[in-house]
Amino acid sequence: MKRGLLIVMWILVALAVVTALPFSASKTNDLGYYSLCSFAPWSSVALLFVAGLIWAIRSYLQTRT
């Protein structure tokens, strides 16, 4: 289970980076450029927050066993 949480955490971090990358889109994001996600940087922050929560849960589970 701990390995699965680590994999999910790294996937979320990778998605946070990908959402902020420049990309041709129909709308600009809040930073003023075209990116893969028009909700950037807020989507990146949300993904990083969830990844941090998963990291904290994983750390807690490691201390329990």
Q: What is the pLDDT of residues 43-55, one digit of tens each?
A: 999 999 999 999 9
Query: For residue 45, which of 63, 58, 29 has the smallest C-alpha distance?
Result: 29
Per the listing, tokens 């750390």 go with 59
Query: For residue 21, which of 51, 29, 8 has the smallest C-alpha distance?
Result: 29
Q: From CA 65, how far away is CA 49, in angstroms rounded?
A: 25
Residue 13: its pLDDT value, please?
A: 97
Average pLDDT along the chain, 65 residues, taken 10 residues at a time? 93 94 87 87 95 96 86
Residue 31: its pLDDT value, please?
A: 86
Residue 14: its pLDDT value, please?
A: 97
Residue 58: its pLDDT value, please?
A: 94
